[in-house]
Amino acid sequence: MSGKKVREGSFHLVGGDFTKAGVASSELKSILSGLGIDVKLVRRAAIATFEAEMNVIIHATAGMMHYAVSDEQIRVVIDDMGPGIPDIDLAMQEGYSTAPDWVREMGWGAGIGLPNMKKNSDEFKVDSVVGEGTTVEIIIKIKEGKAIEPK
């Protein structure tokens, strides 16, 4: 963890529970706003984590979202017990999706979730083991001058 730690925590994610889908990202967004982080950075973090959360809801049985905020960065790790991604390079291509039709009818599964997470992150990593699960790491740097005061 780089920088002085300000806050950390985690949320449980339940696969298939569309009524709760987005709750974790929404709460994290409130926490980041409450820490006084620049709104543009908060928005990027919220979008990236929401996409990751939706992937867990759509594809996995369960997952966790861990966040750690320092005066230098926002780091969020989302890991799941899911099917895993056989070909990460392919999954990173815009438009590639394995989401079923009923998920698409709800407005998801366009195949741009992973590329969009990367777009909104300063550092982005995906690790996956087929049959076990996937871990996504999102890091957003808190720029100089926008640094937050540790509480």
CA-to-CA distance for 45 and 97, rounded, in angstroms? Answer: 22
Tell me which residue of 66, 76, 77, 70 sits closest to 11, measured CA to CA: 66
Nearer to another protein, 46 or 72 (CB): 46
Nearest distance from residue 15's CB to another protein, in Å? 15
From residue 34 to residue 53, the character string flagging contacts with another protein as x (rule: CB under 8 A) and all else as - is -----x---x--xx--xx--
Helical (H) or strand (E) element with 77? strand 73-81
Cβ proximity of 13 and 56 under 8 Å: yes
Closer to another protein by Cβ: residue 90 or 106: 106
List the interface residues with another protein, window 3-22 (CB under 8 A): 18-19, 21-22
Overall size of the chain counted in residues = 151
Q: Where are the beta strands (DSSP E) in the chain?
A: 5-14, 62-70, 73-81, 123-129, 133-141
Residues 64-123 that bind another protein (CB under 8 A): 106-113, 115-116, 119
> Applying CB under 8 A, which residues contact another protein?
18-19, 21-22, 25-26, 29, 39, 43, 46-47, 50-51, 54, 106-113, 115-116, 119
